[in-house]
Amino acid sequence: MSASHPTILAHQFDDLHQQKESVTLGMWAFLVTEVMFFGGAFLGYAVYRFYYPEAFAYGSSLESWRIGAFNTVVLLISSLTVALAVHEAQGGNNGGVIRYLVITIALALLFVGVKGYEYNHIIEAGHAPWQRFTEGYYAGDNPSPSAHGAGPHGTGPHAQGANGQGAHKATTIFFSFYFAMTSIHALHMLIGVGLFIWLIKLARRNRFSPKYYNPVEVVGLYWHFVDIVWIFIYPLFYLIDPKW
């Protein structure tokens, strides 16, 4: 037992348990800053949804809750595979770590790809905030249809619907929050993919053992946190007023 790999225990720690504890605590300290980071975005979302409930409900109804549900399932499965990768690392099975992390990377790229498809759909419909900044503070106040769907793809059916009903004010704010928060979330996922590739490289060198699997554990924490952010994004952006 004592003849373990000498470099596993870094010299500043008394023992492996303290090392593991320190690494876990450090990651959580980072994740708390992430809670505050995404929390600020959710806070802004809450204030503006409180001010413009109809606009948020209407903006949400323009999104496909089915696509969001699909991505939610993809992300939950990826969280499970990461948890299983950590489990394999705890058992010292580096091959299992690689297998589950490859599945996770595939799921993450699937998620980001679907997200890109969704962005494209919304931009084509003319709802992206940068396509509507010319409309002023209240998007619905101006009855002139010229500003709607000003993007290169013309006016989509949804944009015309927004025009026809003047009650749907300020959906620009809804989609600003939507693009900002989901794109930052997707960026976190891409960073996670990079971390998984790094872990796979370590696992190929058989670096993980029951005594040392801290990198897998810590990156797993990061990934589960990204999952939690999406757990809140999904009902708040896709399910306010979904259309069957």
CB of 154 to another protein, least distance (A): 27
**Interatomic CA distance for residues 172 and 59, integer angstroms:** 8
CB of 140 to another protein, least distance (A): 13
76-95 residues labelled b (16+ CB within 10 A) or e (exposed): eebbebbebbbbbbbeebbe
Residue listed under structure tokens 């929390």: 39
Q: Which of 35, 109, 150, 193 binds another protein (CB under 8 A)?
A: 35
Is the CB of residue 225 less than 8 Å from the CB of residue 185? no
Say whether residue 99 binds another protein (CB under 8 A).
no
Q: Which of 95, 116, 136, 154 binds another protein (CB under 8 A)?
A: 136
Q: Exposed, middle or buried: residue 36 (CB in 10 Å: 0-12, 13-18, 19+)?
A: exposed
**Interatomic CA distance for residues 133 and 104, integer angstroms:** 38
List C-alpha distances in Å: 118 to 63, 94, 183, 212: 8, 36, 12, 40
Say whether residue 70 binds another protein (CB under 8 A).
no
Q: Which of 41, 67, 102, 228 binds another protein (CB under 8 A)?
A: 228
Stretch that binds another protein, among 19-27, 110-118, 122-130, 173-181 (CB under 8 A): 19-27
Q: Residues in the site for another protein, rule: CB under 8 A?
A: 1-2, 4, 9, 14-17, 20-21, 24-25, 28-29, 31-32, 35-36, 39-40, 43, 46-47, 50-52, 65, 69, 72-73, 76-77, 79-80, 82-84, 87, 90-91, 136-137, 210-211, 217, 220-221, 224-225, 227-228, 231-232, 234-236, 239-242, 244
